Amino acid sequence: KPRVGVLALQGDFREHIAVLRGFGAEAVPVRRASELPEIDGLVIPGGESSVMDKLSRTFGLRDPLREAIAGGLPVYGTCAGLIMLSSSILDGIEGQESLGALDIDVRRNAFGSQTDSFEVALEVAAIGDPPLHAVFIRAPVVERVGPAVETLAALEDGRVVAVQQGNVLGTSFHPEMTQDHRFHEYFLKRVRAAR
Ligand code: GLN
């Protein structure tokens, strides 16, 4: 059984834990650096990236997280988690930092307040048919994709919403909030392969 941690500083970590358990993984909340060596993969949930960033530093997790990811730990970030994984936040709050695990620039409030939340059927070749039911909630968009980054999905207007770079996976949307959990399945496959 793969042991998958979910960063549990803030945000919707409980939902991720439930989905991962549904697929037979041992899912555990992670709040301390000492827990990182004990997991085979890590999910960084949605929530509020500036708060998550601050808490990760307060809890002494920021640098250990960076090291674990650089060491090859499979990681999946959704929404605020994607922002956490980015190398640059175009509209971060004063002093907000990120982990620099994905060579991408993100815009946190890319859709404006008028289109706060929406759902689309998203074509994702890596996931297959039918299109993924994707839920966006005050979602970020990837505005720059580095040469080593693979785009997994984009909206019809071309805006990038799912990327992968080596052991790191990120989506603007929230599969844990739907019944369509094929992205978690995809991530778990990667976790098992990396073990
Ligand atoms: N806009 C939020 C942020 O900046 C992300 C929202 C979410 O995770 N649903 O962190």
Q: What is the CATH number of domain 3-194?
A: 3.40.50.880
Here the ipTM equals 0.95
pLDDT in the model for residue 115: 66
Residue 47, ligand 1, Cβ within 6 A: yes
Ligand 1 near 108 CB (within 6 A): yes
Q: How does residue 111 score in pLDDT terms, banded at 50, 70 and 90?
A: confident
Contact present, 99 and 195 (Cβ < 8 Å): no
Helices vs strands, H then E, count in the chain: 5, 12
Give the three-class secondary structure for 35: helix
Distance CA 188, CA 124 (A): 17
**Ligand 1, residues 12, 98, 108: which to mutate, most atoms within 8 A of Cβ?**
108
Alpha-carbon span 46 to 93, nearest angstrom: 17
Q: Which residue has a Cα nearest atom 8 of ligand 1?
A: 46
> Among candidates 12, 9, 27, which has minimal Cα distance to 187?
27
**pTM for this model (two decimals):** 0.97
Cα angle 27, 30, 31; round to 5: 160
Ordered by start, the domain boundaries in the chain are 3-194
CB 8 within 8 A of CB 194: no
pLDDT, tens digit, 9 for 90 and up, residues 26-82: 999 999 999 999 999 999 999 999 999 999 999 999 999 999 999 999 999 999 999
153 forms beta bridges with 162
Rounded-to-integer distance, Cα 101 and Cα 82, Å: 10
108 assigned ligand-binding residue: yes
